[in-house]
Amino acid sequence: MRRVTAPVIPGAEPMARTGGDDGVLVLHGFTGNPQSLRPLAEAVADAGYSVELPLLPGHGTALEDMVPTRFADWARAADEAYEGLAARCRRVAVAALSMGGTLACRLAERRPEITALVLVNPMVEPPAESYRDVLRGLLASGTDVAPGIGSDIAREGGVELSYAGSPLEAALSLFEGVDEVAAGLASISCPVLLFSSRNDHVVPSSSGDLLAARVSGPVERVWLERSYHVATLDHDAPLIESRTVSFLAEVFAGRAHGAPALGTTGRATAEPAGT
């Protein structure tokens, strides 16, 4: 893999915070960087947990640095960040957005000791082969980068410091990673807190449907009515932060998290932020 050629974008730096004996690994999405999850990571750290929010390879610098990276590179970085956090914490949970959710599920499939997952609009549903064929056709025609998918935010003035483009080869490698993760979802037995935006222009809510149907552990689903894909920077960010902190307190305390608080289906509706 080619080494980084550009400096880190101001605001996109990784974050590490030493807190208590329990840790939380936080993973960002495709073409994004830690900026999109920093408020959530800070809320978790302020609650007393040790936190690692790594910058995944090729991200947070310049688009050219991401072009040669692949899913294996991002998965390796997530593995290393988890191992480092687990080495100094007695228990570890993982919180993630979008492709970070793909990586989080991959970790949980391979590491049953993970305490819990907090997933915001995770990408775990394999894209249609017809869509992949479109991307392959673009590549064959000489187009290496498609328009960017970042800053899908409903809140006026909300900005994600993501790349303006999406490298197509990297995207296709992500889809292959999603294929692998989707096939193994049933092996995830830890509690899952799942946030799903009603209106998401990047990852359809059917991806959350698939996750909720396939994992073997308890799922609490919170529907976000006012936010788009990057909900961690959107209207419902305060709700995500507060629900995440309370969920982590429950699972780290060892209390059973089987029955959802708002009924038997595992689905809840988010209150408007600030209420």
Q: Is the dihedral of CA 256, 258, 259, 260 positive or negative?
A: positive
Span 167-186, pLDDT tens digits = 999 999 999 999 999 999 99
Single out the catalytic residue among 200, 227, 236, 257: 200
The yes-or-no answer on residue 98 being catalytic is: yes
Residue 118 is inside which H or E element, if any? strand 117-120
226: left (phi over 0), alpha (psi -120 to 50) or beta: alpha
Is the pLDDT at 258 greater than 60? The verdict is: no
Query: Which of 3-7, 31-35, 142-146, 258-262 has the lowest average pLDDT?
Result: 258-262
Q: Provide the CA 147 distance to its chain's centre, in angstroms.
A: 21
Q: Is 15-269 CATH 3.40.50.2300?
A: no
Residue, of 211 and 149, whose pLDDT is higher: 211
Annotated domain spans of the chain: 15-269
Q: Which of 68-82, 153-167, 244-258 has the lowest mean pLDDT?
A: 244-258
**Six-digit token string for 72:** 């294996």
Give how far Cα 108 sits from Cα of 204, 244, 269, Å.
Answer: 22, 18, 26
Catalytic residue among 229, 234, 235, 236, which? 229
Strand (E) or helix (H) holding 256: none
The pLDDT of residue 152 is 95
Determine the pLDDT at residue 6: 86
pLDDT of 2 > 80? The answer is no
Candidate list 36, 50, 98, 166, residue with the active-site label:
98
pLDDT digits (tens, 9 = 90+) for 205-222: 999 999 999 999 999 999
Identify whether 73 is a catalytic site residue: no
Digit-coded pLDDT (tens) for 83-117: 999 999 999 999 999 999 999 999 999 999 999 99
Report the pLDDT value the prediction gives residue 255, as an integer from 0 to 100. Answer: 57
- 24-44 confidence digits (pLDDT tens): 999 999 999 999 999 999 999
Q: Are 42 and 10 in contact (CB under 8 A)?
A: no
Please determine, for residue 259, whether its predicted confidence score (pLDDT) is greater than 60. Answer: no
Asked about 28 being catalytic, the answer comes back as no
